[in-house]
């Protein structure tokens, strides 16, 4: 397994729209394992393939407190979404930035696992928020894009500063 480099906002590659996975090869299973390792090492509770510059519809999530419940969503689709929840979100591609985003409170998602087997899952609370956040990534959307223009500008300035400092170091 390997820890993959994570793209950081405002990298334009985060805006790419992911394409569906059509063949469930061993390479896909390796990619899922590497994404899980990268997410756990960060540490984070979710990672979309877009964030590791792989533009296929693959997501890994684990919101359990003891990191014992890895969920893999390939080609995820929301088939139900209702209610409203506002939670504070962060993102491995936007380190140290947290803000409130409005999401559906209850969702039902249809997806395939790493072997291509289809499944459906109902989610509320943190898991529902996390699935919607990661599915946004597959559409080229970062949670910052849901904030006001002023906040987006502040985040961009902060991240640009972070990247300048990293270059100098
Ligand atoms: Ni994210």
Q: Quick: pLDDT tens for 32-56.
A: 999 999 999 999 999 999 999 999 9
- The pLDDT, as a whole number, for residue 138 is 98
In terms of residue numbers, what domain contains 127? 12-168
CB 18 within 8 A of CB 55: yes
Cα-to-centroid distance, 130 and ligand 1 (Å) = 8
Query: Per the domain annotation, does 2 fall within a domain?
Result: no
Q: In the structure, what pLDDT confidence band is assigned to residue 1 with cuts at 50, 70 and 90?
A: confident
Cα-to-centroid distance, 10 and ligand 1 (Å) = 12
Q: Provide the domain count of the chain.
A: 1
Query: Per the domain annotation, does 78 fall within a domain?
Result: yes
44: domain CATH number is 3.90.45.10
Query: Per the domain annotation, does 29 fall within a domain?
Result: yes
Query: Per the domain annotation, does 7 fall within a domain?
Result: no
Q: What is the pTM of this model?
A: 0.97
Phi, psi (degrees; rounded to nearest 5) at 146 = -85, -10
Q: What's the burial of 82, exposed, middle or buried (CB within 10 Å: 0-12/13-18/19+)?
A: exposed
The catalytic residue positions are: 134
Tokens 């270059």 found at: 167
pLDDT tens for 87-134 read 999 999 999 999 999 999 999 999 999 999 999 999 999 999 999 999
Cα-to-centroid distance, 165 and ligand 1 (Å) = 22
For residue 169, pLDDT over 80 is answered with no
Rounded distance between C-alpha atoms, residue 125 and residue 129, angstroms: 6
Query: Per the domain annotation, does 140 fall within a domain?
Result: yes
């Amino acid at each position: 397994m390997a820890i993959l480099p994570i793209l950081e906002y405002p990298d334009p590659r985060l805006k790419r729209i992911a394409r569906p996975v059509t063949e469930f090869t061993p390479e896909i299973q390796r990619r899922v394992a590497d994404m899980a390792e990268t997410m756990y090492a960060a540490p984070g509770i979710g990672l979309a393939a877009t964030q590791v510059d792989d533009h296929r519809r693959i997501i890994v999530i684990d919101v359990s407190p003891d990191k014992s419940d890895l969920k893999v969503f390939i080609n995820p689709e929301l088939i139900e979404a209702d209610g409203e929840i506002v939670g504070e979100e962060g993102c491995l591609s936007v380190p140290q930035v947290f803000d409130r985003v409005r999401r559906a409170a209850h969702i039902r998602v249809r997806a395939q696992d790493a072997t291509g087997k289809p499944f459906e899952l109902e989610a509320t609370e943190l898991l529902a928020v996390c699935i919607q956040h990661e599915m946004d990534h597959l559409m080229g959307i970062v949670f910052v894009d849901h904030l006001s223009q002023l906040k987006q500008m502040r985040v961009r300035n902060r991240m640009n500063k972070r990247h300048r400092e990293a270059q100098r170091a």
